[in-house]
Amino acid sequence: MTKPREAPPRSRRSGIARRPPSSPTPPTRLEGGFPLGKTGRTHPPLGLGLWAMGRWRPEDEARTKATIGHALERGLRWFDTAEVYGAGRSERILGDVLYRAGPTAQDAWVVTKLSWEHLRTAQVRPSLMGSLQRLGRSRVDLYLVHSPDPRVPIAETMAALETLWTEGMIGAIGVSNFSREQLIEARAALRKTDVVVNQVLYNLFERDDGDDVLDYCRKEGIVVEAYTPLARGLLAGRYQSGAVPVGPARSTGLRDRLEELQERARRLDALAREAGVPMASLALHWLARRGVAPAFGASQPAQVDDVLTAWAARPTDVVLSRADTIARGDAD
């Protein structure tokens, strides 16, 4: 039996293995990816989600820009934002960083989202135009419906999006927080293109939304993106005692089961140490093994390095299977 490697040093703040301070941080080659429907493009395997970076206070903008810029330098190209993030401030900050990065950002994969408050036909085009203006771009690579609204027919929204796609303002159409049934309805409304992405809450501890659509999306060639892949930090070594995770309403289940999940997180941490990998490696590669693309959050450059270190350390399939068992609460 191969002797486990010694676990790398860990950050006291995040619990993710850290590169020594004096070490260089060269660009990371992110191997792999997923075919993006019939577009001929490849969806990146790992991305940076910009939800609530810096809480959007003006005094935090410098740190937020530094984080995005550092992610570019480290080789990340998928950036996920939305018009509702900071009431447009997220898009503006991302656009500014990409503009100032010049050639470095030429191959950036920019994703933004149409608010659930703007799903009527008359609202879709103005929303996209506003996003493009803030991003400083003539088109967006991928445009997602942020969440369905039961008061607005899905077919109405998709028809408006398809018009913008035919005009070349959208590289591809996707959705977010859609159930399997809603996804089928959205696809049926399109005539010339198809839905290529469904972004959902998905991680080792919060599986319902992802499990609901995963088999269908695999069969239909739709990429499943996972937001909150590290469960608000619980799967990266944070909140193992005391503190309560904060985050979107869809993650309140973490608070409701906090003590139970903290115990499982401690067992996952022990497994990661035994395997000689950062704890976050278990969470990220559990998703990747299922064919899911994680979009992680970071509020400072060091956290980008933490995640890339975790991504570079791939656990064995045996370790990932054990992680799956522990996270479900089964005996291991």
Average pLDDT, the chain: 89
Q: What number is the average pLDDT over the span 278-293? A: 98
pLDDT for the residue 55: 65
Residue-range domain boundaries for the chain: 34-255+292-299
pLDDT for the residue 295: 98
Q: Phi then psi for 223, rounded to 5 degrees? A: -75, 130
How many other C-beta atoms are found inside a 10 Å radius of the C-beta of residue 196?
25
pLDDT for the residue 23: 46
Asked whether the predicted pLDDT for residue 18 surpasses 50, the reply is: no
Asked whether the predicted pLDDT for residue 216 surpasses 60, the reply is: yes
* Beta strand residue intervals within the chain, DSSP E: 34-35, 42-43, 47-49, 78-80, 109-114, 142-145, 173-176, 195-201, 223-227, 292-297
**Is CATH 3.40.50.150 correct for 34-255+292-299?**
no
Among the residue ranges 76-80, 109-113, 296-300, 328-332, the one predicted with the least confidence is 328-332
pLDDT for the residue 54: 64
Calpha distance 172→60 (Å, rounded):
32
Give me the amino acid identity at 34.
Answer: F
Calpha distance 70→117 (Å, rounded):
33
Which residues are the active-site residues? 85
Burial track 313-327 (b if 16+ CB lie within 10 A, e otherwise): bebeeebbebbbebb
Residue 10 bridge partners (DSSP): 17
Q: What number is the average pLDDT over the span 64-83? A: 96
Calpha distance 210→134 (Å, rounded):
31
Burial track 142-159 (b if 16+ CB lie within 10 A, e otherwise): bbbbbbbbeebebeebbe
Residue 103 bridge partners (DSSP): none
Count CA atoms within 13 Å of residue 257 on its CB side.
15
Residue percentage of the chain with pLDDT more than 90: 77
- Judging by beta carbons within 10 Å of its beta carbon (0-12, 13-18, 19+), is residue 130 exposed, middle or buried? middle
